[in-house]
Amino acid sequence: MPLVRIEVCDFKSYRGHQTIGPFRNFTSVIGPNGAGKSNLMDAISFVLGVKSAQLRSSQLKDLVYRGRKLAAPPDEPSEQNEEDEEPESSAKKAWVLAVFHDGEKEWLFQRIISTTGTSEYKLNGRTISYSAYNAALVSHNILVKAKNFLVFQGDVEAVASQSPKELTRLIEQISGSLELAPEYEKAKEAQERATENATFNFTKRRGITGEIRQYKEQKNEVDRYERLCQQKDELILRRVLYKLYHIEESLKANASEIQKQSRALNGLREDQHRQQQALDRTRTEQAKSKTEVSREERKLKRAEKTLEAKRPELVTAEAQISHATRKKVNSAKLKEQVTRDVEKKQEKITAYYRDLEIVRQEADRVQGEISFCPSSTL
């Protein structure tokens, strides 16, 4: 969408209402220093919503004209608005109007600021909010944050010196994709959550499939267990019937055996009667023997009493025997000690005799040597 013209009023170095344009496909703005070339770029940036910090100004109110009042040429008509007739440095607001043409109609974008720093936005003469103003610019592919409508002084060198990551961010900013980054991150997070949910569901499904297979195996085990239990019950029943049959046969055999043993018992009872009579006779004899034993026990007790009376004398004799035995043992020990001492002294005497013999032999040898030495000297 081409820019047709720019209209400014009390904006920076432009005093009063000024119209700049029309602009062609290629338009060059030339002039000496201070002619307002850079301020024209600032005016275009200002009307398109660029912040004051990027317009070589710290505050918006600094963009309002504060210079001298210009003298009107003599051949210029005297049609001036009320702002032109105001005294020097009395401008209270400034505005910039940009006229665009999209091939069908003209679009009038206007931004107004006051000395208090407030801003006002108009589209085709109607006051709107900044968000609606910015949305209208975006609809014409004019991105304020990306600044894809102007190339400022030094931008080319700045772009050339940027790193690949910064260039990528710049391209994303110019193309507008950077503004979609939050939505992209949200969509990416949603995709990751969906992937996690799908993975979780797949894992859960696989787990459920495994559980179903396990339950089927358990059911087969239960069925097999029930079959085995039924077989076990049948086998137990057969075993019980088999035992009952053999018990009945045993009862029959035991009944005949009981009759046989009853007849044998009658014979044993007769033998018991005979043995009881023999036992009675034996008990009578035992009673007589007990009487005899009691008599002998009384004699034994009298003998024990006599022995008890003699026991003190026996203790005294035993003590004397013990004392004599100890004296005998001590005498034997003393004898052995004396014998050993005699043997030791005898050995010492024998050693002394040997030493004496050696000394005598040595004395004889020395005496012989002494006798030989004088004769040799003579």
Q: Which helix (H) or strand (E) holds 270?
A: helix 181-377
Distance CA 61, CA 91 (A): 11
Dihedral sign computed on CA atoms, order 369, 373, 374, 375: positive
Give the model's confidence band at 82: pLDDT under 50 very low, under 70 low, under 90 confident, else very high.
very low
% of the chain with per-residue pLDDT over 90: 12
Q: What is the pLDDT of residue 142?
A: 77
Amino acid at 258: I
What pLDDT, in 10s, does the model give residues 314-339? 888 888 888 888 888 888 888 888 88
Distance CA 148, CA 144 (A): 7
**Helix, strand, or coil here: 232?**
helix
Q: What is the pLDDT of residue 85?
A: 45
Distance CA 63, CA 112 (A): 11
Residue 13 neighbours by CB under 8 Å, 6+ apart? 34, 36, 39, 65, 67
What structural domains does the chain harbor? 3-70+82-144 (3.40.50.300)
Q: What is the pLDDT of residue 224?
A: 92
Residue 244 neighbours by CB under 8 Å, 6+ apart? none
The answer to whether 9 and 17 have CB atoms below 8 angstroms apart is yes
**Helix, strand, or coil here: 146?**
coil
Give this prediction's pTM: 0.41
Q: What is the pLDDT of residue 86?
A: 46
Phi, psi of 70 (to 5 degrees): -85, 145
What's the rounded mean pLDDT across residues 367-377? 66
Distance CA 47, CA 35 (A): 20
What's the rounded mean pLDDT across residues 118-147? 82
Give the model's confidence band at 239: pLDDT under 50 very low, under 70 low, under 90 confident, else very high.
very high
84 has pLDDT over 50: no
Q: Which helix (H) or strand (E) holds 324?
A: helix 181-377
The answer to whether 27 and 128 have CB atoms below 8 angstroms apart is no
What pLDDT, in 10s, does the model give residues 39-81? 888 888 888 877 766 677 777 777 888 765 554 555 544 444 4
Phi, psi of 15 (to 5 degrees): -90, 130
Q: What is the pLDDT of residue 97?
A: 92
The answer to whether 20 and 99 have CB atoms below 8 angstroms apart is no
